[in-house]
Chains A and B, each alone.
Chain A
Amino acid sequence: MTALTLTNVNKSFGDVHVLKDINIEVEDGEFVVFVGPSGCGKSTLLRVIAGLEDATSGEVRIGDNLVNATPPSKRGIAMVFQSYALYPHLNVRKNMSLALKQERKSKAVIEQRVAKASKMLDLEAYLDRYPSELSGGQRQRVAIGRAIVREPKLFLFDEPLSNLDAALRMNTRLEIAKLHDALAASMIYVTHDQTEAMTLADKIVVLRDGRVEQIGSPMELYNNPVNQFVAGFLGSPAMNFMPAGFVSEGDPRTLGLRPEDLQLRTDGELTAAVLHVEHLGGDTNVIAQVKGTQITARLFGQHSIDQGQTVNFGYSPERAYYFNADGLRM
């Protein structure tokens, strides 16, 4: 069964066309990540699914129901916001139980669900505290708890980790992954961070300028990007692009090489002047210039390379990507 079906969804604000013919299917229990640069419409798309914005045209189905005209609270969804959006005047327990009270669930049910969610998220000690007395990570967990207690068909996450610091972000990321396994619920997750997308997703939807660029599993997108945008967006450091003419005279295409596919070889095709070296311990990132184009090479292990040095990089031809003038993969 599908948890969510979007058919030809369009959204305009006045003359601004922000979502263009979006078609997406989310299977039951799937973790789908919408990813794209800021302003690509991914948050708007999430809000259309949530019912906080109306689609200008097209169909939104959650489960088997057409929900275009259904208010957010009746759609069987729960949403976690970037700014946590906890009710400042209610304590944690009341924050989590408010939606259930609105649904007129019995006290016993509310208590049992809040207890279950707070146990899952390690929030039992904080149930009587107010949001202002919690740390950022705790607030985010409360926000997630507020979503869990509703037992929705579909979870929506709007950049939930972007207000957390790096260490906490990784922990919370793991927690969300664990939560997905434990609840076996369908989740939609919006982010601009490709690492979050790659690590969490069963399926990634890459968006640009209100259009779906490509849909697929993380490895599918990584190994088989349909165009230069997707190739450049996924992977860190990003893929290197250079005129293919650098290696074969007169080739009009663009050559794309992942940083980890570049190797130091004395007979390498690319002669590069080293601009900067980042020693990460496990890896060494070499930022260099080839005929005026900046490239990044990610070398495994530690290398003693100096700034200003000239090195040669080689690659295996089957790891090279070629794009035409329109950015499409060839």
Chain B
Amino acid sequence: MNKARTNPFNTVAMHGALILYTLIALFPVFVILINSFKTRKAIFREPLALPDAESFSLIGYQTVMKQGDFFLYFQNSMIVTVASLFFVLLFGAMAAFALAEYRFKGNTLMGLYLALGIMIPIRIGTVAILEMMVASGLVNTLWALILVYTAQGLPLAVFILSEFMRQVSDDLKNAARVDGLSEYAIFFQLVLPLVRPAMATVAVFNMIPIWNDLWFPLILAPAEETKTLTLGSQVFIGQFVTDWNAVLSALSMAILPVLVLYVIFSRQLIRGLTSGAVK
């Protein structure tokens, strides 16, 4: 930043605001984490206290391990999230490339139609989706979830990626055409690496809602062997009694994989921004 334009007061205010926001955002996560290591009594007596020698307990984690097949839930969530992201990125990027690169009749109309999905929540169609899944025999399979989440993520992905693909230099694509690369090779070898930061953005945007979703797993795949992590954690929340230790432990563990995925994608984001741009 230009030194002449930075005012120490502004810098402090800016950092202060950002730090404050970080604290607010992280506070619930922090509370969940500390309480997951406490006994039930300690959770209610002093919810904000750190676990000490007296209140420290792993009872929540033990319950989670014993009850239900938690690793299966983990695995289900992971498969659904990763597979959905893969399809969203693949099909989204392909559609975006076609919309950005080729002139054909109805191009704009097609773009608008695909963007419509951003404005209409997919949950409105839940009943129809359920009927379709029943008819096709996909209820209680992970495919039901993957298909729905792919559909849910596509509109925004197409919208963002087509904007980025328009920015990829035409000369570059034409040079590749003159050099004899097929349109598929241009897409996979040339354009995709150049829009990687945008892909990472789309992946991050889509990942969290898919991972956290309770609605569709509950409706489309509530069977024991297809339960996702979010749905699996619900067994500890009852109408009259809630096993808070178990709930908090399950949630703490659910944070980890998302964190790992996020780190992977955000590194792509930063690398994309800093890699040498070619004039």
Contacts and interface: CB of A to CB of B under 8 A. Distances in A.
Chain A to chain B: the 8 pairs with minimum beta-carbon distance, closest first: A132-B276, A73-B180, A102-B180, A99-B179, A85-B171, A85-B175, A81-B171, A88-B278
Contacts of B190: 87
Contacts of A47: 174
B178 A79 contact: yes
B132 to A, nearest CB: 41
A172 interface: no
Given A139-B278, A146-B179, 8 more contacts: A71-B177, A72-B180, A79-B178, A87-B175, A88-B277, A98-B179, A102-B179, A132-B278
Interface residues of B, number: 19
B90 to A, nearest CB: 20
A219 to B, nearest CB: 33
Contacts of B193: 89
A12 to B, nearest CB: 13
B277 A79 contact: no
A103 interface: yes
Contacts of B171: 81-85, 158
Contact of B169 (A72, A83, A102, A146): A83
Interface string A59-93: 00000000000011110011101111111110000
Nearest to B182: A102
A296 B87 CA distance: 66
A315 interface: no
Query: B171, B179, B180, B190: which has the most chain A beta carbons within 10 Å?
Result: B179
A85 B169 contact: yes
Contacts of B275: 88, 132
A283 B194 CA distance: 50
Interface string B176-212: 1111110000000010011000000000000000000
Nearest to B173: A85
A83 B172 CA distance: 8
B165 to A, nearest CB: 15
A71 B171 CA distance: 16
B41 interface: no
B28 to A, nearest CB: 41
Contacts of B66: none
A47 B175 CA distance: 11
